[in-house]
Amino acid sequence: MKYNSKCPFCTKPNDEIIVQNHYAKAFFDTKPANPGHVLVVPKEHVRTIFNCSAIQILAIRKLVLKVKHFLDKNFHPGGYQIGMNCYPVGGQSVLHAHVHIIPRYRGQKRRQIFPTDKSKLWKNADEYNNPDVWKNGNTVKEAWQKEFKVMDKLRAKGEKVTYMSHYFHTFR
C-alpha cells in the first residue's frame, strides 16, 4: 500500500477517524465549510479519484453512505453537498483523493459555485491555466471552443443539445 509521510491524509491519527473500512477512512475536515464537514479518503496514497481502483471507489462510496447516516443522527442537516476536486487547477489543495461531504442546513443560502462576474471568471481561469500545473495544453477558452464544435456536430445530426458555456461566456 502506498503511503506518503508528508501527506496530512496518510498521517491522520487513528483517534480522529470517524469510520473506516479496509480501503478507506473518514474524518472531519480541518477547515470545514459547515459544521459536520467530513472527508472520505482512500487509505492508500492515491492522487485523485481518477487513479483509484474499483475496489477503492466502492469502499469510498460505502463510507459516504455511513457518514451520511452519522451526520443525520448527530448534526440533523437538511441536505448535503458532496464533491471532489481533482488536480490543482480543479481546486484540489491536498494531492490525495478525497470526497467532501458538506452538510447543508435549513435557512442557509445555497453556496455559489460559479462567479457572477464573468470577467473575473476568465481572468482567473487564464491565470490557472499555467502549463507547469496543467499539462493538458488547452486554455479554458480553447476548451469551450472545442465544446462548440462537438455540439455543432451533434446538432447537425438532429440532437437537441445545450451549450454549458452559454451560462458563462460566449466566444462567437
Q: Is 129 helix (H, G, I), strand (E, B) or coil?
A: coil
Which candidate in 37, 45, 96, 98 is catalytic?
Answer: 98
Query: Rounded CA gap, 93 and 81, in Å?
Result: 18
End-to-end Cα, the chain, rounded Å: 49
Other beta carbons within 10 Å of 9: 19
Cell numbers 489543495: residue:
93
Question: Is residue 98 flagged as an active site residue?
Answer: yes
Distance, in Å, from the CA atom of 48 to the CA atom of 38, rounded to the nearest integer, reads: 17
Which residue numbers are catalytic? 98
